[in-house]
Chain A
Amino acid sequence: NAGVTQTPKFQVLKTGQSMTLQCAQDMNHEYMSWYRQDPGMGLRLIHYSVGAGITDQGEVPNGYNVSRSTTEDFPLRLLSAAPSQTSVYFCASMPTPGNTIYFGEGSWLTVV
């Protein structure tokens, strides 16, 4: 998990609360993304960014916002948390599309 840092590691939210999952990488990677992982499932793409100032939706974007004001940071915002957003969230980065992708260690989110 070289150079991709996620915080917090664990979080419990009440339904309707908002929060931001932080992701930072120090490898000067252009591409960053957020995935969620649910039991028995592979990882599913939420949002991604191919460079500062550029973001786009993945497979499951509803309920999440992102921004990419710098190359290093790619925060994921939950505006009004729902129990369906209980999951493990992984941030990832790669130098350019087509290269090896590196994952953070994950953020365990529970919405009650």
Chain B
Amino acid sequence: GQQLNQSPQSMFIQEGEDVSMNCTSSSIFNTWLWYKQEPGEGPVLLIALYKAGELTSNGRLTAQFGITRKDSFLNISASIPSDVGIYFCAGQPRGSQGNLIFGKGTKLSVKP
């Protein structure tokens, strides 16, 4: 089946540093979504992208829908301890009826 390659798998950074993570796919996606999951919780939507080339910000978070429609990145600027968690990319392939394909996640640790 379709897969998303998300990298890096984990990151250990110092508070205040910027973070970048990305997802690539072998097929075209109509929508890219970025979620954050904290322990014991469900994924919470951070940013949704609906058009190729779209660049969207949500506070210190910025995400882009790649122009080829096969990739997306998420940047976090000036990280803070509460950014800790697992970040997932997810995409809706063409004709998926809304079903999401998820990346395996990027685990972010922030040292104060």
Contact = CB atoms under 8 A, between A and B. Distances in A.
Interface of A: 1, 31, 33, 35, 40-45, 48, 50, 56, 58-59, 90, 92, 94, 96-106
Q: What 4 A-B pairs come out closest when comparing CB atoms? A: A42-B102, A97-B98, A103-B42, A43-B102
A100 B43 contact: no
B92 interface: yes
A101 B35 CA distance: 10
A42 B88 contact: yes
Contact of B45 (A56, A98, A102): A102
Contacts, number: 70
A31 B88 CA distance: 21
**Interface-central residue, B40, B99, B103, by most chain A CB under 10 Å:** B99
B42 A106 contact: yes
A99 B99 CA distance: 11
Contacts of B6: 42
A101 B97 contact: no
A33 B31 CA distance: 17
Interface of B: 1, 4, 6, 30-31, 33, 35, 40-45, 48, 50, 88, 90, 92, 96-100, 102-105
A59 B92 CA distance: 14
B1 A100 contact: no
A99 B97 CA distance: 10
21 contacts: A1-B44, A35-B100, A35-B102, A41-B105, A42-B4, A42-B90, A42-B103, A43-B102, A48-B98, A50-B98, A59-B1, A96-B98, A97-B97, A98-B31, A98-B50, A100-B33, A101-B100, A103-B35, A103-B44, A104-B42, A105-B41
